[in-house]
Amino acid sequence: MFLAGLIMQNRRYLVMRILVYGAGVQGCQLAHSLAQNKKNVVTLLARGEWKAVIDQKGLTIRHMLQRKTTVDRMQTTDVLAPEDVYDLVFVTVQAGQLADVLPILKANRSQYFIFVGNDPYPTGDAVQNTVNPSTMANNDLGWERTRQYNLGFELGLFNNRIRLEGDFYDNQSLDLLLNVPVPTITGYSTQMQNIGKVQNRGMEFTLNTKNLTGEFAWSSNFNISFNKNKVLEVGVDGRPIYGSAANANNAFITKPGYPIASFYGYKYIGVFQSEEELAKYPHLSGDKVGDGRYEDVNKDGVLDQNDKTILGDNNPLFTAGFSNSFSYKNFTLDIQFTGSYGAEVFSFYKRMCGIYHGDRNGMIEQLGRWQSKDQPGDGIHFRPTRTPSGWQRDPSSAWVQDASYLRLRNLTLGYNFDQKVLDKMKMKGLRLYVTGQNLFTITNYVGYDPETSSESGLAQGGDYLGYPAARSFIIGANITF
């Protein structure tokens, strides 16, 4: 149970609103016990008197222009500040931990937590469908816990025509539920475990403006959020957890100090353009001119498994949205853009079609591949080969792509019929509209959609051409009788 303060300040008043912030069942019980006392009163003094009361109706606050010694009940309609308050500043502080929210379920949970799968099994001359465990059981499984700290503010200017809100947070998730790889000698490949600690720290801002308020009205909303994900612990021994996807074994790594499911592999530099260059730099035994060149990360003069490194992750530097609403007489127009910057995608699609084998379609960028000493290409795409060798198909930075984008998420044009028409039609309201969703996306990503991926969990950000957001057009009517 925590009590947090919300402060509102202007030229004449200083107000604190006492908020009840509970943690699970215990917090609810404490809040209920406080409510049994009808005179839990907190008095704060400024140039007037403000009082906060917690009772069966919840929390209410009232400004008292005349001092009173006791308050039994306060009406929720009195919460608003005096009418002459135009510019407001709110500050919010919250702290708490959510854990074992349902202790009864925890105490009575199944002794073993497993996933099951279907497999055919021959019995005599027939094949039967069977249900069998697909993951290793874990009788020590518990609930995740979250520890959270927040600091926020709200600022209103010019009679609230401009309103800015901000929130700064630090969340730590403890005892994460992760499907962790286990030795296959157990008969299984994964087990659900409580393992690790992850931190998400960031800030969010929202700006609302009423740009025009006359017959032609225009209002805007802009929001932007920054988040940094970092693994703090990964189990007792601190060993990294590796994630895989189809044709991409151990392409992801979760280790302390880095985001969950960081991309893991070799750092691709370019193409060997000559015999001299091939002889000068470390390379694999079968490499030839025109093959890919990789960085010797540990500087030991040898290319091997020890040169794998973290290549990026799927977390954006920021995400943002920008909406505008226009109205003129009976017409309305709403436009919404969303975007993301800094996220990356591990493109398994590029692994399949970004290498020219001659046995499948290739990406147009393969026109820049190395073909000969006289046609060295763009220095990025290595020579075509029917039988890929070396690290051509191993996870590398050649697969990592920028997934930043700007998308027109929604565009809606509407018309509201006026009251004269509604009276003739015996209706209370009639609105016609046409909406377009996901109309266009600006991005450098070569896959279907930079916002979606085919993988999740410990392999998030891997994309084998996940199903894209559909472009749609809707014509509709809202009718009220």
Summarised one tens digit per residue, pLDDT across range 150-184 is 999 898 988 889 999 999 999 998 887 777 777 87
Question: How sure is the predictor about 96, in pLDDT bands with cuts at 50, 70 and 90?
Answer: low
CA dist 272 and 288 (Å) reads 8
Type of residue at 64? M
pLDDT digits (tens, 9 = 90+) for 440-450: 999 999 888 99
Terminal CA-to-CA distance of the chain, rounded, Å?
47
Is the pLDDT at 365 greater than 70? The verdict is yes
**Residue for token pair 């503010």:** 153
pLDDT digits (tens, 9 = 90+) for 108-128: 343 445 555 666 767 777 777
**What average pLDDT does the chain have?**
77
**Residue for token pair 């490949």:** 189
Share of the chain above pLDDT 70, in %: 73
What average pLDDT score do residues 24-46 get? 35
Is the pLDDT at 406 greater than 90? The verdict is yes
pLDDT of residue 76: 33
CA dist 82 and 85 (Å) reads 6
Q: How many CB atoms are closer than 10 A to CB 458? A: 20
Secondary structure string (H, E, C) spanning 292-345: EEECCCCCCCCCCHHHCEEEECCCCCEEEEEEEEEEECCEEEEEEEEEEECCEE
9-23, 148-162, 245-259, 402-416 — which is least confidently predicted? Answer: 9-23
pLDDT of residue 22: 32
pLDDT digits (tens, 9 = 90+) for 199-227: 999 999 999 999 999 899 999 999 999 99
5-19, 52-66, 130-144, 421-435 — which is least confidently predicted? Answer: 5-19
pLDDT of residue 438: 96
Give the tokens for residue 231: 């693994």
pLDDT digits (tens, 9 = 90+) for 281-330: 999 988 999 999 999 999 999 999 999 999 999 999 999 999 999 999 99
pLDDT digits (tens, 9 = 90+) for 229-267: 999 988 667 789 898 888 788 999 999 999 999 999 999
Type of residue at 119? D
E strand intervals along 10-144: 14-21, 40-45, 49-55, 58-64, 88-98, 116-123, 126-133
Question: Residue ranges of the alpha helices (H) in 4-82?
Answer: 24-36
**Residue for token pair 């497999």:** 119
Do residues 251 and 343 make contact, with C-beta atoms less than 8 angstroms apart?
Answer: no
Do residues 214 and 173 make contact, with C-beta atoms less than 8 angstroms apart?
Answer: no
Strands 2-9 and 197-213, bridge-based pairing: unpaired
CA dist 74 and 58 (Å) reads 10
Give the tokens for residue 4: 């947090």
CA dist 24 and 234 (Å) reads 26
Give the tokens for residue 116: 């099951």
pLDDT of residue 164: 94
pLDDT of residue 444: 93
Distant-in-sequence contacts of 296-305, Cβ < 8 A, 24+ apart: 297/267
Which pTM was predicted? 0.72
Q: What is the DSSP string of 204-215?
A: EEEEEEEEEESS
pLDDT digits (tens, 9 = 90+) for 332-344: 999 999 999 999 9
Each residue of 237-255: b (16+ CB within 10 Å) or e?
Answer: eeebbbbbbeebebbbbbb
CA dist 249 and 244 (Å) reads 5
Do residues 436 and 469 make contact, with C-beta atoms less than 8 angstroms apart?
Answer: no
Is the pLDDT at 103 greater than 70? The verdict is no
pLDDT of residue 59: 40
